[in-house]
Amino acid sequence: MSKLSETLKEELHALLPPTIFFFIALHLVALIRALMLEGTGIAVSTSLSVTLAALIIAKAVLLADLLPFINRYPHKPLIYNIAWKTLIYFLVASLVHYLERLVDFWRETGGLVAGNARLLAEIVWPHFWAIQIFLLVLILMYCTMRELAREIGEERIRRIFFGPGPGVRATSGR
């Protein structure tokens, strides 16, 4: 296999877990948002825009993982890195969530400043914060699983959740 195809395969393998997670999570957020906005006349996100956002956030997570400060607490209990990464990813997700709303208003008003002013005037803050809380919990779950997988190994996590692979003899212990 060529170096380029091996690199692409590696990149896709790394991108798959966060993409699947955020694909499902953001579709849940879109569903909850659609249910909250039912009857208000406010447009809801399309599946395509949610899928694109999932890909963007997944890639942002992978890029953030390359930053030297992201694993700030490698020799401390897992909760330190979980809390730190949850904070970083939540800030990014919050920014993406806000910008997603801003783009809609920017298109309608024709200007960034006017769009932002209109967004701030018309946003339903309880809905916005409900979605932010939901995102926070989802990101916390994601970071917890990622840190556990990093600590005890992806293969062991697979065995714990899905059992031994085909052709592997089951044992009584883990």
Q: What is the pLDDT of residue 118?
A: 92
For residues 25-40, average pLDDT: 77
CA max distance for the chain: 65
- For helices 47-66 and 78-109, what crossing angle results, to 10°? 140
The whole model's pTM is what? 0.71
CA dist 142 and 23 (Å) reads 12
Highest mean pLDDT among 16-30, 36-50, 52-66, 77-91: 77-91
CA dist 44 and 36 (Å) reads 10
| More confident call, 116 vs 64 | 116
In this predicted structure, the answer to whether residue 172 has a pLDDT above a threshold of 60 is: no
Q: What is the pLDDT of residue 45?
A: 64
In this predicted structure, the answer to whether residue 170 has a pLDDT above a threshold of 60 is: no
Residue 48 has phi, psi (to 5 degrees) of -65, -45
Cβ count within 10 A of residue 72: 13
Q: Radius of gyration (Cα) for the chain, nearest Å?
A: 19
